[in-house]
Amino acid sequence: MMLKAMQKNGWLFFLLMLNSQCIEPITIKLSDNGKEQMVIYGRITDQDESNYVTVYRTINDANQPRPISGATVTVTADDLTTYTFQESKPGLYEMQPGPPRQPGHSYLLNITLLNGTTYQSKAEVMPTYIGTDSLTYSISEETFESADFSRLLHKLYVNTKTELPIKGDYFLRWETDEVYYWNLTDFPDPFNTPPPDCIASDRVDPQRINLINGNLVNEGTLNQLVAERELDYTFKSRHYLIVRQFSISENSFLYWNNVKTLLNNTGSPFDIPPATLQGNIRNVSDTDEQVLGYFEAARQSNKRFFLVPGFIPYYIEPLCDYVPGQDINRYKPICLDCGLMPNSSNTIPPWFM
Amino acid sequence: MNILYKVFLVIAICFIYLPIYAQDESVKLSFGDSTLTKNGNITFTGTITNMTTGEPLQGAHFYVDGLVGCATDQFGRYFLLMEPGKHKLALRHISMEPKFFVISIFESSVFNTTMTEKAFQLEELVVSAEGPAQNIQQTIGGVSTIKISQLKAVPALAGEPDLMKSIQLLPGVTTVGEGSAGFNVRGGRQDQNLMLLNEAMLIGSSHAIGFLSTINTDVVEEFTLYKGAAPAYLGGRSASVLNVRTRSGSFEKWQGNFSIGSALSKITAEGPLKKDKASMLFAGRISNANWLLKQVDNPDVRSSNVRFNDTYTNVSWKINQKNFIDASLLTSSDYFRFASQFGYSWNSLLSSINMRNLIHENISISTIAAFGKFENSYFDYEGVKSAKITNGLTYSQLKSSALFAWGDHTFTAGAESILYHSDPEKIAPNTAESTVVKNQVQKEKGRESALFLAFEVLPWEWLSISGGLRTSFFQQLGPDTVFQYATNKAKASNSITDTIAYDKGVIQSYYGFEPRLSFRVSINKNQSIKAGYARMNQYIHAISNTSSPTPIDLWQMSTAYIAPQLSDNFSLGYFLNFKSDLYSTSIEGFYRMSKNQVEYKDFASLFQNHHLETELLSGLGRSYGVEFLLKKNRGKWTGWISYTWSRAFSKVDGQFQEEKINQGEWFASNYDRPHAASMVLTKKIWPRSSFGITTTYITGRPFSAIDNYYLLNGALIPNYSDRNLYRIPDYFRIDLTFTAGNVFRRIEDSLNISLYNFLGRQNAYSVYYERFANRPRFNAYKLSLLGAMLPSISYTVTIK
């Protein structure tokens, strides 16, 4: 990330190093032109996981999700196979078991809201190529410094090593998830009943976009950093990192490349000016409506590894350990209720242990 | 009575003796035989040159018997019609010592003479955008001429007087921001300015991403900026023409100077190769900023490398009184590498041969042959993706014109042709471990030609008219491949239906008529009104999908899909001088319409693109404004105050949704800066020192802000507003400079101390957004490229 930012900045970074007070916060008074927009993201893969669609509206910050419930969501293949998605939580629609998705086939997303408005994506062809990653990680101790304070933190870096084939029409994207066992506070009781199992999962470093265009590289080994995360109390028990490689279409690649451009914008003279991202989904009856988001059909391959506290050469402060005599209200809510953890479940995946 | 008589006697004696005293300085000349008196007017013509440099002097005025006779043209030529007999002549020029003659003329005669530059004492400190009388008398409005001696009194970045920075202080001229290559004139884009070095086209004129221009002011005689209504013999861009005239080396003796500064060092040497016949001039500059890097703690910065240099070489040969030839070569090079991670470089070259021939007493021919090359590259060292991308443009120019002078009227006719050849855009691995595919994208060839006829006539003392017609042609040349697109879709890589391969020859042709007309009506000797109209075509375009142009931009020719840019420029102004030209004022309004202005699709991908037309959009441009100028031309304090109110808009309303920007409505262009004001003041400090101060205020430029957000696969994505709905904060800067002459007694030297951005204001170059950790929204940040005062010092020694 740092390297990318520096590459984009060039002279800017250089000037900043010489004169460190060139960036300062500013308040931009927004006009009332910012309009509410529909946001749809969907993905269908050849795996039985990672197939979901989200339907939301634009928000003023990340803590204000504005899901749209009750939509009818389907994906139709070019062989007319239809895959249905059911709402598992507000705004999140997950695919129901159905026939396997086939690389080389095209898929089309259809969404009908309760008010009858219908949205449809362009057809996306699932690529046939998929590569294989091998994973490595590193842990380091760093000092975080801001204008007000500094603190020591420990960081985990996840890297992939990918053998690239000869130059070709393939486009790859990587994302990293984590799945970890969450230790709820184990209060003593006469029957020694442990708290229920709690598994939490989340996306790691979602603002990092890793992409490669096979037309621009020859065969060779690609080493890249795919995720970076602070080691916190969630690493007190077994913690899986799953790196997913997606083989996507060229249009999907271009879309994600634009996302990357937006997220890496640093205001330098060499920056591409930011703009609204144009996706591949439209309102069927009102083509003037600007719909945000994208629907993609991807081949997928996963690699995972886990960490347990013994692998980490630093002490991690516990959060939910039982403290004799401490009032239950003084425990963090997440120590008491698995449902407060991100994407939590009481079911342990079969591969977890 | 006795007292009155004495007073009368004193006055009478004064009247008798003063002319005699004045005539004592006059040179007496005689032409022809007084016994062979002709009836009717006879011609008195010749050339005026700078005694030091041998260069023709433009704008020198002959006064005949106290009345304005004529001014010399760009070749230093004058043409007077007068009655046979005895006349008193005065020859004046703003930066030259005046000369006086008493001539007895009885037949048509040629008289060539020289003028000597005024001593440093006063005139070098006269900071004015143009001569005081020119302000009123010049026919074309919106013209600013700056002598280099005037420019040197303006505070500059790194203490180096700079042409581009000075131009930005003139009314009607703005820039997108510090670190932006070029400038904007009357709402035009940066690439719509034609840069000429002695009328040879110059591409690539920036050092250090625009902080400095590549033209060394030590070799510049003067430069003229035509803001819209350029004469017909100049053309090729749709907004303005900047013509920089360099000087020749001394024909008299060897001399030079060298300068050592905190950021830049330079040397100039000049002298006769053959006395009074041939001379040469060499000037070179080299950056020395690397020592600064070594002082920085950061090891990456310490191991970085930044450097630039430029050279200018000129050889001039006065074959005889009627024939003059000079050859010049300008080279510049920039290199920047950050640690061993990435970098940029760009180089330019312009060589030219210029011949001027007086073939008749009132006809001169000027011919220019030039060759230019511009290349840039970006490189990184990032593992397997390490790559080097190079671009370039090569061009050859030939221009010939004939100037016919008849009294106060001049007529110029000629032709011009430029052959462009874009180098292939290449990408190659930059390190041994890189797996980047070596590739190249072929670029276009083209030929731009023009025929022109320009005139400037003075039918009456109160009226002068300048006009003409330029007919320009452009041909896209093969071999090349032209993609065909589906007619029912926007041009995109997925709407390509076919390709047509062309062999050598013409693929696409364009032509344009470019009428130009300006006139000046003098109300009296201190007031005039000027109006002008010019149509200008542009066939090559700088392609840069950034908020401001950079030195690594691509140059793209017009093709079957990229039509020439065209602009219509109107202006109307009122000019007033008062207190014997001590003050000059002007107010000028302008309106400009343009077509086929190049705009970009959102996130346009320009590099390694075989079909650039899929990323570009064609739009309309509209700008208008009013410029005010108040100048003080003489005295201890000199300088000017300018204010411009202007607006610049674009509109892109293509056939398909993907070919619209902001729903096809007018929107503020990147360089729309409604209020721009500057003040330039210089004070002479006895005996050879000077102090200068400039202040600049400009409204912040437009940008796109975040309206709201959305979550996409876990990532928080900012949703940006329509293009350019918001503005970054306004810009304000004060610069100071102090130059002390004769620091040491026995040598001719000077010491310059400059404080750029004296207040240390963190002026915004841009506003961008960044999200830290998992905060629920992005924060806005103001980025300042120069966020502190930048002091510089330089010491110069002149050897004569």
Residue of B nearest to A343 (CA): B714
pLDDT at A108: 97
Q: Which residue has the higher pLDDT, B72 or B440?
A: B440
Report yes or no: A17 at the B interface, CB cutoff 8 Å: yes
The 3-state secondary structure of B9-70 reads: HHHHHHHHHHHHHHHHCCEEEEECCCCCCCCCCEEEEEEEEECCCCCECCCCEEEECCEEEE
Asked if A341 and A180 touch (Cβ cutoff 8 Å), the reply is: no
Contact across the interface for B726 and A28, Cβ inside 8 Å: yes
Residue of A nearest to B180 (CA): A269
Residue with tokens 């208008």: B624
Q: What is the mean pLDDT of chain A?
A: 88
Percent of chain B topping pLDDT 90 = 44
Number of H helices and E strands in chain A, helices first, is: 4, 19
Lowest mean pLDDT among A6-20, A42-56, A132-146, B604-618: A6-20
pLDDT at A33: 56
Asked if A102 and A78 touch (Cβ cutoff 8 Å), the reply is: no
Q: How far is residue B650's CA from residue B593's CA, in Å, rounded to a whole number? A: 10
Q: How far is residue A267's CA from residue B706's CA, in Å, rounded to a whole number? A: 13
Lowest mean pLDDT among A122-136, B294-308, B418-432, B472-486: B294-308
HSE-up of residue B61 (Cα within 13 Å, Cβ side)? 17
Find chain A residues with C-beta within 8 A of B718's C-beta: 262, 274
Report yes or no: A271 at the B interface, CB cutoff 8 Å: yes
Find chain A residues with C-beta within 8 A of B715's C-beta: 203, 206-207, 209, 259, 263
CA distance B613 to chain A (A): 17
Q: What is the mean pLDDT of residues B435-442?
A: 86
Contact across the interface for B435 and A222, Cβ inside 8 Å: yes
Report yes or no: A336 at the B interface, CB cutoff 8 Å: no
Q: How far is residue A197's CA from residue B215's CA, in Å, rounded to a whole number? A: 73
Hey, is B670 helix, strand or coil? coil
Hey, is A131 helix, strand or coil? coil
Residue A340 has phi, psi (to 5 degrees) of -85, -10
Whether the per-residue pLDDT at B333 is higher than 50: the answer is: yes
pLDDT at B552: 73
pLDDT at B119: 43
pLDDT at B95: 66
Whether the per-residue pLDDT at A20 is higher than 60: the answer is: no
Find chain A residues with C-beta within 8 A of B300's C-beta: 17
Tell me which of B710, B725, B762, B772 to substitute to probe the interface with A (most A C-beta atoms closer than 10 Å).
B710
Q: How far is CA A14 from CA B34, B292, B337, in A?
A: 76, 12, 10
Distance, C-alpha B82 to centroid of its chain: 38
Contact across the interface for B704 and A18, Cβ inside 8 Å: no
Q: What is the pLDDT of residues B96-130, one digit of tens each?
A: 777 888 888 888 888 888 887 654 333 333 334 45
Contact across the interface for A62 and B780, Cβ inside 8 Å: no
Report yes or no: A32 at the B interface, CB cutoff 8 Å: no
Q: Which residue has the higher pLDDT, B204 or B150?
A: B204
User: Between helices A11-18 and A2-9, what is the axis angle to 10°?
Assistant: 100
Q: What is the mean pLDDT of residues A313-321?
A: 89
| Whether the predicted interface score ipTM is above 0.85 | yes
Q: What is the mean pLDDT of residues A182-211?
A: 91
Q: How far is residue B77's CA from residue B84's CA, in Å, rounded to a whole number? A: 21
Contact across the interface for A216 and B437, Cβ inside 8 Å: yes
Whether the per-residue pLDDT at B219 is higher than 50: the answer is: yes
Q: What is the pLDDT of residues A103-112, one digit of tens each?
A: 999 999 999 9
Length of chain A: 353
Contacts 24+ apart (CB under 8 A), A80-89: A83/A44, A83/A51, A85/A51, A85/A52, A85/A53
H or E element: which one contains B122? Answer: helix B120-123
Residue of A nearest to B492 (CA): A251
pLDDT at B254: 93
Q: Which residue has the higher pLDDT, B421 or B657?
A: B421
Q: How far is residue A307's CA from residue A179's CA, in Å, rounded to a whole number? A: 11
Q: Please tell me which of the candidates B209, B713, B766 has its beta carbon nearest to residue A11.
A: B209
Whether the per-residue pLDDT at B296 is higher than 80: the answer is: no
Q: How far is residue B239's CA from residue B471's CA, in Å, rounded to a whole number? A: 17
Q: What is the mean pLDDT of residues A118-137?
A: 94
Pairing of strands B42-50, B113-115: parallel
pLDDT at B1: 44
Whether the per-residue pLDDT at A190 is higher than 60: the answer is: yes
CA-based torsion, B275, B279, B281, B282: positive or negative: negative
| B8 band by pLDDT with thresholds 50, 70 and 90 | very low
Find chain A residues with C-beta within 8 A of B543's C-beta: none
Q: How far is residue B64's CA from residue B61's CA, in Å, rounded to a whole number? A: 10
Q: What is the pLDDT of residues B60-91, one digit of tens each?
A: 878 787 666 677 877 788 888 788 888 888 88
Of B784, B734, B782, B731, nearest to B757 (Cα)?
Answer: B734
Hey, is A254 helix, strand or coil? helix
